[in-house]
Structure 1
């Protein structure tokens, strides 16, 4: 797949990195070169001058920018930096990517075409994602069920952020990503907020992209699967999902499903991690901070609960509900 116009569209591709395999990063940048006008890299780890030069060569005619925040501010902050940079570049679209994303050349152009086709049919697409493919080659189930073999775009509740293409005009209306979530559920919350604002979320089965969830999956009876995550990620997952229960734009079905599944998730993760002290602390702190609305970096994720102290929450950023929790819109 290639850009049918032969020219890069007004699209900024944003890649978040943290000590990536450099050859893989070069390949990723090269795969985007013909389809986007700008490739921006949010570097949570150092990028040398020699590496930057190699990446500029890989980007070809596309502009390459390296954003150096100085410390790891999380995915939400990185996505928001891309959002504001895309607006400054008068981009029409923003493509979000992880350092381990492996899009085929032409993926961005194909997703832009899908966006425009949906809009021409009277839809209000905020975001279109590729069909994520698990390591074993199977399609991940994200969208509303479709007939076998159907390659038409499918409406869904949310898409995985890696590989997703956002229309800037929709982003301006919906608002920024939740930087206080740091990592986990950022894409879910934004998509649910978009739907509540009258926009739609889509996945295009005709545009595949390999994707690996966490450290793989934990297989349960009856074919059920849970994403395998290290303890620090279990903390942010539990905390952020609990924080989402306060938000009016999160559907009751989503809240009920999470609450019903929570005891099973806790039991499975504890057993899978053999009740390690890190896992116990991460889950306990995730429950506590999610209930209290303590957000931000997962600095306390692995500290035993009894060592946190009664006044520890005083210095923590908190969320209340809805209005106070809604990110500001782009202006």
Structure 2
């Protein structure tokens, strides 16, 4: 029976894919076949047509803009499709996420508990864990907001693994498509808090995260960061610097980033072998952020 014909809950599952490997496509097929909820797949490029047809035949809703529109645009398309299908929440995942249907139910129950608070929830997500050879993201705790049992208030969450309340999303507004890839979740989380909604981490369930290819570490600087393609590092720098001008981004975060970003850029440059071209592109990304020149990152791989 198609997955979409037996949805027992108001939760849809949205998955973004970009140039998935055969293994990732196989996992995606298995997920759609095992998931009783509606699954929405947004193809940002590279999903073979036969696999898209297979997913659709199993009840998935497969979307595409015909080109890579970035993670922000893809998430917005998924949210709109989930709302149009009658869902009240949508679980956002990327193609690497190993998240079981039982864990979706855990987040659904957590979101229901949060609705009893005076501060309405925008989203709830799992505790992050590092996948082998990767660095787990860190979610700063939201000051002055107490824990609610196993739920911890955090400034933002990675979109992958987050259960998004669609009524809150409609009031908070869409993800920033002009950020394209990095910082989309961070900016939206701060905006949610500024508009009277909370972001929460459910510590009783976890999701391994894979960002980049390995980790760059410096004992001297005392930092570690994912080893990412140059276009992602420049997008990260650009969007982080641009976010400093946004009124809903707290001063405490701006101060933290002002101290941390130069160290990350230095570490990335060192890992590249101190190549002058890399330094020029990193500096150019900072300048783009200061000037508000956003959109598709330079050096983005073709679809």
**Contact 2:92/2:159 (<8 A) preserved:** yes
Change (3 A) 1:30 1:10: farther
Instruction: Tell me, in whole angstroms, the C-alpha distance in 2 between the residues paired with 1:131 and 1:140.
Output: 10
Instruction: Tell me, in whole angstroms, the C-alpha distance in 2 between the residues paired with 1:36 and 1:242.
Output: 42
Q: Extract unaligned runs of 5+ from structure 2.
A: 1-5, 143-147
1:187 aligns with 2:176: no
Corresponding residue for residue 95 of structure 2: 99
1:259 aligns with 2:255: no
Corresponding residue for residue 224 of structure 1: 223
Corresponding residue for residue 14 of structure 1: 14
Q: What TM-score do the two structures reach when normalised by structure 1?
A: 0.80
Change (3 A) 1:178 1:139: closer
Comparing 98-107 and 230-239, the one that deviates more: 98-107
Query: What does 1:1-331 align with in structure 2 at a 5 Å threshold?
Result: 7-31=7-31, 37-56=37-56, 59=58, 63-136=59-132, 141-142=138-139, 144=141, 152-221=150-219, 223-299=222-298
Larger Rg: 1
Residue by residue over 1:198-224, the C-alpha shift from the partner in whole angstroms, topping out at 9 and shown as x without a partner, is 111111111111111222322222753
Deviation at 1:263?
A: 2.3
Q: What TM-score do the two structures reach when normalised by structure 2?
A: 0.86
CA RMSD of aligned residues (A): 2.6
Residue by residue over 1:237-296, the C-alpha shift from the partner in whole angstroms, topping out at 9 and shown as x without a partner, is 010001101100000001111112232222111111112244223202201111110011
For the residue of structure 2 that corresponds to 1:115, the secondary structure is: helix
Residue by residue over 1:148-206, the C-alpha shift from the partner in whole angstroms, topping out at 9 and shown as x without a partner, is xx981111111111111100010011000000011100000000000011111111111
Comparing 37-46 and 203-212, the one that deviates more: 37-46
**Contact 2:231/2:298 (<8 A) preserved:** no
Deviation at 1:109?
A: 1.3
Aligned residues: 289
Change (3 A) 1:135 1:155: same
Corresponding residue for residue 306 of structure 1: none
For the residue of structure 1 that corresponds to 2:40, the secondary structure is: strand
